[in-house]
Amino acid sequence: MSDLVSLPEIERAAERIAGVAVRTPLVPFPSGAGATGEPSLLVKAESLQPIGAFKVRGAYSAIASLPPEQRARGVVTHSSGNHAQAVAYAARALGIKAVLVMPHTTPGVKVDACIALGAEVVYVEPTSQARAETAEKLAAAHGFTMIPPYDDARVIAGQGTVGLEIVRDRPDVDVVLVPISGGGLIAGVSAAVKALRPEARIIGVEPELAADARDSMAAGRPVAWGAEETGRTIADGLRVQQVGDLPFAHMRAHVDGVVTVTEDEIRVTMRRLAREARLIAEPSGAVATAAYLYHHAELPEGRTYVSVLSGGNVDPALFLDVLR
């Protein structure tokens, strides 16, 4: 348990990212009002970050914590989009070079944003292995520091600032719903929330078509799904084939369950978030709210629920299709 990220580490990350990451609001979901008229669902709108996703927290915190000489050599990462964009944003803010290894299937809107931030993009096949191996080779060849997307204590501490803010804004929170991809977000959020409010319940959410975290929790060890399986979901940010080892250790310690949602539920939730809460969610960002709206019976009882809307970087053509 000692290698798990602690509350003081998350608090230090919060100090590092202050003024860079937005302290995002908890937005009431209108039709989730309880009998008292008080909203029972609050949406943590990480779509309002400068790069449109929570990933800026972990990336900036991790890079800012590097010794100056190491930072000056530049950084490399591998990502399907939002983490790559976060690393590019952090590198530009800190005045260093960033190289991003991305699958060639990444939505154009995410690639364009990375290039606009001055990063160099290297395309690979859409498998976790191809991404990680290419990034490691580049790090070894050029002296770059690897900034992993999720399996890294510095990154987890940064993502944990989401949980810190949730409890500070709503000390009475009962249930926190968090999307699961590689597991960095739910690892950090669960560590922060459980440290500050142990009685709160943490529920992970993922698509039915990429339910490796659900299977991992059931098996008691990380279970991998094939790229062709996870590639079926519309939620491109949740297509990671297996949760990281360090995130999984946090999940075993702090997470109370995993719920899966369907493709139709994701689409309808994207539409409802836009129309009812005026929030833009990419498919991956909508899954936690979808769990509240369509799987409430599977969730722990509570008065105050928070869903993490992890990102809003949706392909415009897909968003138009969803709104129809």
Task: Give the integer Cα–Cα distance in Å for 237 and 230.
Answer: 10
307 has catalytic annotation: no
Of 80, 190, 284, 307, which is the active-site residue? 80
Closest CA to 291 of 324, 250, 258: 258
Query: DSSP alpha helices (H): ranges in 222-323?
Result: 227-230, 245-254, 263-276, 283-294, 316-323
Beta strand 75-78 with 98-103 is parallel
Of 40, 47, 55, 181, which is the active-site residue? 55
219 Cβ contact partners less than 8 Å away, ≥ 6 residues apart: none
Query: How far apart, in Å, are the Cα atoms of 41 and each of 37, 53, 54, 300, 319?
Result: 11, 20, 19, 13, 23
80 has catalytic annotation: yes
State phi, psi for 6 to the nearest 5 degrees.
Answer: -100, 165
Contact 304, 42 (CB under 8 A): yes
Active-site residues, by number, are: 55, 80
